[in-house]
Amino acid sequence: MAKGLLFVISGPSGVGKGTVGNALREKLPEITYSVSATTRAPRAGEQDGVNYFFKTREEFLGMIERDEMLEYAEYVGNFYGTPRDFVDQTLAQGKDIFLEIEVQGALKVKEKFPEGIFIFLLPPSLDELKDRIRGRGTETQATIDHRMSVAVDEMNLLRHYDYAVVNDEIDFACKRIESIIIAEHCKVHP
């Protein structure tokens, strides 16, 4: 049985990772999507092992210590991370696994899992990215400027990735990602 491949989809804040990720889940239901671990409390309807692996702070810190996280970060007092175990088990079953993650996290995954295939979602243009960041809501100009400057910094990390996929239209972006999956499975020297 051929081993599965790990695909990591990332890109700057505002590029539409979540939207593309959801569209891929619909179009490619045969692919497994990574489930993150978190220390935050489950919300109504969230299931352990489906939406997240819910962990206590002690459990999470233990996983970090035993190098069981491909990457992790702390946001507003809660830990979020990618358990290596779930990824390894899926790959060992010969199934591909998808990780949808922000740019810094993706680069940490690359350190621990260099054989992964790293896909960077690009906005059609920086102006378009600005519109998307601005369009999110009622942020102040300072917040928008800050997010834009972070996004431009993130764009500079493109060179660490294998593929760049322009997210001009969801369907086109999905088709490109699907093509990358098929092509990677045809590689003679993976």
Interface size with its own copies, residues (CB under 8 A): 22
* Residue 106 C-beta: closest distance to its own copies, Å: 13
Q: Which of 120, 130, 133, 154 binds its own copies (CB under 8 A)?
A: 120
Q: Which of 59, 146, 69 shows the shortest CA–CA distance to 105? A: 69
Name residues contacting its own copies, limited to 87-106 (CB under 8 A): none
Exactly one of 88, 128, 162, 168 binds its own copies (CB under 8 A); that residue is: 162
Nearer to its own copies, 89 or 179 (CB): 179
Q: Which of 23, 49, 24, 26 is nearest to 36 (CA)?
A: 49
Q: Hey, is 69 helix, strand or coil?
A: strand
By CB under 8 A, residue 1 contacts its own copies: no
Q: Does 3 engage in binding with its own copies (CB under 8 A)?
A: no
Q: State whether residue 168 is helix, strand or coil.
A: coil
What is d(CA 98, CA 116) in angstroms, rounded to the nearest whole number? 10
Distance of alpha carbon 22 from the chain centroid: 12
Backbone angles phi, psi at 184, to 5 degrees: -60, -35
For its own copies, the closer of residues 106 and 119 by Cβ is 119
Binding site for its own copies (CB under 8 A): 119-120, 158-159, 161-165, 175-176, 178-184, 186-189
